[in-house]
Structure 1
Amino acid sequence: MIIKLTDQEIKRYNRRLWGIVIGGFSFIVLLLLCVNFGLFGALPSFRDLENPKSNLASEIMSEDKRVLGKYFVQNRSNVSFKQISPNVINALVATEDNRFYSHSGIDFGRTFSIVLYNMVGHKQGGSTITQQLAKNLFNGAQGAHNPIKRIIQKLQEWIIAVRIERNYTKEEIITMYLNTVDFGAYNTFGISSAAATYFNTTPANLTPDQAALLVRMVNAPTLYNPIRHPDNATTGRNFVLYRMSQENYITDGQYEEFKQRPLGIKFHPTDHTEGLATYFRSVLKKDVQRILEEKSIVKTDGSQYDLDRDGLKIYTTLNYDMQQYAEEAQHKYMRELQAQFNDHWHGYNLRKSIQNYDLLIKQGMQRSDRYRMLKQEGKTDEEIMEDFNTPAPMNIFTWRGDRDTTMKPIDSIVYSKLTLRNAMMSMDPTTGYIKAWVGGIDFKHYKYDQVKTGARQVGSTAKPFTYAVAIANGFSPCMQVNNVPDTIRIPGSPPWCPNSEPSSTIPGMITLRKALANSQNWVTAHVMKEVTAQPVATLIKKMGITTEVPAYPSICLGVFDASVFDMTGAYSVFANHGIWTEPTYLVRIEDKNGNVLYDNKPRVVQAMEDQYAYVMTYMLKGVIQEGTGQRLQWKYGLTNPIGGKTGTTQANSDGWFIGITPQLVTGVWTGCEDRDIHFRSTRLGEGANTALPIFALYMKQVYANPTLGIKKNVDFAPPKNGLTTVLDCGQYNQQQQGTDEVDKKLGF
């Protein structure tokens, strides 16, 4: 039955319909106005749009502008539009917002077209890229499960999206989006981190199929994670490739080719305990935080900078390749040396053979995280000991990689104590710039830095300081001394005379150069007796040693402690014409916009005269040519101009080698965590065996890379104003004969 309406009823119906439409439209306009004016929460200002708040990782840059590592809460790094492959841009636009270049932030028509994709199983959102950017930067996911709040949030996103479109170019918008998008697992945020994590590459080098996979992860990073769900990831990647072909970004033939490819994942998650220069990055972070605080360097709003969130750029002196060579040299030789150490102690009763063994193990136990946790739980000492003697699953360090095993926690303490440690630093003696820093053997398991934080007894590496004072007082490297015990007597102190192992003692008259080359204790003590301790201690401090150096005669044999950092810096004086340039590893700090916050200038001190430093390079070359460092030549083939000094402390607790060339000074130390645990023979425990090989392996790789500019056959430059010290021993002996004859005639 057809109901016929009167004209009056039709008019009344139309008025109601238009009232609903106009009322609904007015309500939406009013709602938008309320949102726009912040009645439902403040919207970001133009300044906020220019400086969006996001957790941006701070990057540590090497001298060759490569990223050594990052400090982050979220692993996020910004890249520019030019640093992003067009494949990424095309994949994103084709899949997420194919009218991106034509709309003004909101694409109402997209909402209807997206329904089709969702119906065929390809989950899509109706938001434009600009709306998604607005959500990522300012709103996040608040209110996602509350319909009313979600409506308000959606309106906020619309308004923010329109504002973004008015103030930024399309290139800027898509770049910001790719820099802020969350790729889900492994703390990966932004296209730069995603490219590195999943393909170990940069955004600029992503291929179409790689770009398609990452873009598919944008809205469902867990579902399309290629590590956890490779089948889903393949399906998702192929859908994006299909959309790229539909939008004519790739041909149908390319689509067929790319979709047949394997995923090609090169998984490389970023972790604070992994990567290059882990110890250096840890020390650097504390230094940067201290500098920002002490210099009162703050943001424009007066708040403190946060290294983990504010995207600072920290420029350092480390060279990426040289750092890699240093770590490789350590890994290669320490694996071999640890095997020597294990064989050396195999079959021995450790409790009987190692002094203070029980005390060392007890101290190691009490310093462990496990012990502190058990104490906090209120466990008694007996319960704690029972726990430490109960086998448990654990992960331990080995030179073949981390190993999951089951062992008693107390045995893991013993294992750790018997693991050799090593540290190394390499620097340019002229600029003071540190090129490589290896603070330990594995930051994940042993976080204590042995380059700058730790200090150990320096042994015979201290001997050149005494000889340097002697050279400055007119001694010649050709001067001969009888290699016999020479007791030093100081009023108020007991007489002092060092020991000298018979097997390594050269009998008779020997030159100072030969005595230093072969690390002869008695001749060194004689020289100390002549020059006295105070000038030597003064010179040592002047050369940058920051630890305590008492003015005792025994400092000539290195009974004081010093760090690898300080000792390497001190030896740079010999290679740098007597000038100590402060070892430097931080160049400058910039904010995320490139504004310089801090610029570092190293200190410079004239520690000794140029000619005396040159004589010491001649003396130190003798160590390599005819002394304890000879294996550098006959075993490793380094016959170019190199000086150096080995060092071995009492009972072989510490092994040192510091090598100098005109362009690089490198210090290496090896020893166990506790000095009471060491090699039992000097043949194995001396610095020539425990430290020198790492220097050799490192330098061989450095010389093999011509781009570094470290030239192999460059010798130390003689002093500009000439040399008064005689280095030719034939000429020196003739002069001495003439002096003796004159003295004889004069009755002396």
Structure 2
Amino acid sequence: MAQSKRQVGSTFKPIVYTAALENGIEPCTYYSLNEVTYKDGWTPGNSGNTEEDENINYNMKTALSKSINTIAVKVLMQTGIANVINQAKRMGIASDLPQVPSIALGTAELSLKEVTKAYTSYVNDGKPSTPYYISRIEDGEGNVLAEFKPKESEKPAFSETNRQIMIEMLKATVNEGTATRLRTTYRLNNDIAGKTGTTQANKDGWFVGIMPKLVAVTWVGSDDHRIGFRTTSIGQGANSALPIFALFLQKLNEEDQFNSITQARFSPPSASVVQLMDCEPEKKEGFLKRLFTGADKKEKKEKKEKKGFFKRLFGKKDKN
């Protein structure tokens, strides 16, 4: 997996949000949950939220922590696909990224090493650091023959303000979003930020765990792209990849020699960052807006239900 490339799912979304912040979009910008159809008839939906209220608008932290697909694509389109791709390059992504809206949902294929490198920038003053495997070489008597240090970019990939904002957003993923089982199931009290990821047809599950002195990326899948999990409930990154990180961290917590890593704490965000993010997590559209958009939403719902009826009629299952 170190060299092979797979779709990365929602682990790409933080790059989209980072690009948005870098291009002037405020973290308290609100986006609606409703579905939008893009070029070539592509209409992204939200996994497992069949009863969601489309009149609800989320701010960026809530949308990212809940990994809302419809909003991630809207953020990408407002930011500009080219700007998002450029941001990914600055964060260490070397693979070619297709200039299509679906990259917001991680349809591009990247290596685990690239994903790890990109995420190191959030805890390395904005500078992506290339993972390396050998720190030093010694002879039989313990004499050091060579030492190696990680290569890092000279310039930050984003501002310090936006780095702090992204850490707060990714902490919310663990504390109140798709990765809460780190707290509830595994009882981990460490300072952790992170992001879950699941690809199409549950082929790949991802989890990125971020701590002040550690970035760990776990992937669950198969080299054979035809093989995947039967359902999202067991194949999603929160169920397949996250437990690997959780069990690994539990083991680290048991060893005093790793206290410098496990007990490290994120620096509190600056007063200006706190102010920038001081807004309600969600809000509902006003009455007049709901009144004038209700007919359009009703028509979309009827078309969706009709489409689902014909699928069931001819024995086809609705895609989860």
TM over 0.5: yes
Q: CA RMSD in A?
A: 2.7
Alignment of 1:489-528 (within 5 A): 489=39, 494=40, 496-501=42-47, 503=49, 506-507=52-53, 508-528=56-76
1:472–1:721 distance in 2 versus 1, CA, 3 Å: farther
**SS at 1:710's partner residue?**
helix
Residue 504 of structure 1 and its aligned partner are, at CA, apart by: 6.0
Offset from partner CA, 1:443-463 (integer Å, 9 cap, x none): xxxxxxx2x122211011101
Alpha-carbon shift at residue 679 of structure 1 (Å): 1.4
Tell whether the 8 Å contact from 2:206 to 2:237 is kept in structure 1 after alignment. yes
Answering whether residue 230 of structure 2 is matched by residue 680 of structure 1, we say: yes
Distance 1:723 1:519 in 2: 22
Supply the distance in 2 between the matched residues of 1:685 and 1:593 (Cα, whole angstroms): 48
Which of 29, 38, 47 lines up with 1:479 in the alignment? 29
Amino acid in the other structure paired with 1:645: K
Instruction: Return closer, same or farther for 1:658/1:457 CA change in 2, 3 Å cut-off.
Output: same
Cα 1:477–1:541 change in 2 (3 A) is same
Specify the SS of the correspondent of 1:581: coil
Q: Which residue of 2 aligns with 1:609?
A: 159
Give the Å deviation of 1:548: 2.1
Task: Work out whether residues 212 and 261 of structure 2, in 8 Å CA contact, stay in contact via their aligned partners in 1.
Answer: no
CA distance in 2, matches of 1:660, 1:456: 21
Distance 1:476 1:715, change over 3 A: farther
What is the alpha-carbon distance in structure 2 between the residues aligned to residue 519 and residue 684 of structure 1? Answer: 17
Aligned position for 1:627: 177
Aligned-pair CA distance for 1:672 = 2.3
**Is the contact made by 2:94 and 2:114 (CA closer than 8 Å) also made in structure 1?**
yes
* Aligned: 1:654 with 2:200: no
Shift in Å at residue 696 of structure 1?
0.6
Inter-partner Cα distance in structure 2 for 1:623 and 1:732? 15
Amino acid at match of 2:114: D
Over 3 Å counting, the alpha-carbon distance change for 1:721 and 1:598 in structure 2 is farther
Counterpart residue type for residue 650 of structure 1: Q
For residues 479-520 of structure 1, give each alpha carbon's deviation from its aligned partner in whole angstroms, at most 9, with x where no partner exists: 22111123445xxxx354323335367432122211111111
Show CA shifts across 1:147-199 (max 9, x none). xxxxxxxxxxxxxxxxxxxxxxxxxxxxxxxxxxxxxxxxxxxxxxxxxxxxx
Report the Cα distance in structure 2 between the residues aligned to 1:608 and 1:623, rounded to whole angstroms: 21
User: Do the aligned partners of 2:91 and 2:117 also contact (CA within 8 Å) in 1?
Assistant: yes
**Quick one: which of 428, 431, 456 aligns to 2:6?**
456
Counterpart secondary structure, 1:565: helix
What amino acid sits opposite 1:521 in the alignment? N
The 2-side partners of 1:577 and 1:728 are apart by 23
Provide the secondary structure at the position in 2 that maps to 1:562: strand
Query: Could you list the per-position Cα deviations for residues 192-245 of structure 1 after superposition, in whole angstroms to 9, with x for gaps in the alignment?
Result: xxxxxxxxxxxxxxxxxxxxxxxxxxxxxxxxxxxxxxxxxxxxxxxxxxxxxx
Bigger Rg, which one: 1
Task: Deviation per CA, 1:8-29: give whole Å up to 9, x if none.
Answer: xxxxxxxxxxxxxxxxxxxxxx
> Structure 2 regions of 5+ residues with no counterpart?
284-320
Q: Matches of 1:574 and 1:504 in 2, distance apart?
A: 33
1:234-291 per-position Cα deviation (integer Å, ceiling 9, x unaligned): xxxxxxxxxxxxxxxxxxxxxxxxxxxxxxxxxxxxxxxxxxxxxxxxxxxxxxxxxx
Distance in 2 (CA, whole Å) between partners of 1:731 and 1:548 is: 34
Question: Is the partner of 2:20 in helix, strand or coil?
Answer: helix
AA of the residue aligned to 1:501 = S
The answer to whether the 8 A contact 2:137-2:146 is kept is: yes
Task: Find the counterpart in structure 2 of residue 124 from structure 1.
Answer: none
Contact residue 472 and residue 612 of structure 1 kept, 8 A? yes
- Residue 468 of structure 1: aligned partner: 18
Q: In the aligned structure 2, how far is the partner of 1:655 from the partner of 1:624?
A: 16
Cα shift readout 1:68-100 (whole Å, capped 9, x = no counterpart): xxxxxxxxxxxxxxxxxxxxxxxxxxxxxxxxx
C-alpha separation in 2, matches of 1:591 and 1:498: 56
Aligned to 2:108: 560
| Contact kept? 1:611, 1:718, Cα under 8 Å | no
The equivalent position to 1:577 in structure 2, one of 109, 125, 131, is: 125
**Aligned-pair distance for 1:680?**
1.5
Q: Counterpart amino acid of 2:78?
A: E
Cα offset, 1:585, TM superposition: 2.1
Answer whether contact 2:59 2:282 (CA < 8 A) is retained.
no
Taking the TM superposition and a 5 Å limit, the aligned residue runs for 1:19-168 are none
What is the aligned-residue identity percentage? Answer: 38
Q: Which residue of 1 aligns with 2:82?
A: 534
Deviation (angstroms), 1:598: 4.4
Query: Structure 1 residues 731, 624: closer, same or farther in 2, change over 3 A?
Result: closer
C-alpha distance in 1 between matches for 2:119 and 2:220: 18
Distance in 1 between residues matched to 2:187 and 2:244, nearest whole Å: 14
Q: Distance in 2 between matches of 1:479 and 1:713?
A: 34
Determine if contact 1:505/1:520 at 8 Å carries over to the other structure: no
Name the counterpart of 1:639: 189
CA distance in 2, matches of 1:476, 1:504: 29
Question: Whole-Å Cα distance in 1 between the matches of residues 83 and 202 of structure 2?
Answer: 28
Q: Distance in 1 between matches of 2:151 and 2:270?
A: 23
Determine which of 98, 102, 123 is the counterpart of 1:550. Answer: 98
Supply the distance in 1 between the matched residues of 2:134 and 2:271 (Cα, whole angstroms).
Answer: 34
Q: Shift in Å at residue 552 of structure 1? A: 2.4
Does 1:703 find its partner at 2:253? Answer: yes
Contact 1:478 1:729 in 2 (8 A): yes
User: TM-score of the superposition, structure 2-length normalised?
Assistant: 0.79
Residues 577 and 611 in structure 1, CA contact (< 8 A), matched pair in contact too: no
Q: Distance in 2 between matches of 1:504 and 1:731?
A: 21
Q: Which runs of 5+ in 1 are unaligned?
A: 1-449, 734-748
Question: Structure 1 residues 722, 604: CA separation in 2 closer, same or farther (over 3 Å shift)?
Answer: farther
Q: Secondary structure at the match of 2:191?
A: coil
- Contact 2:206/2:240 (CA < 8 Å) preserved in 1? yes
CA 1:475–1:715 in structure 2 vs 1: closer, same or farther (change >3 Å)? farther
Alignment TM-score, normalising by the size of structure 1: 0.35
Gap change, CA 1:526 and 1:732, over 3 Å in 2:
closer
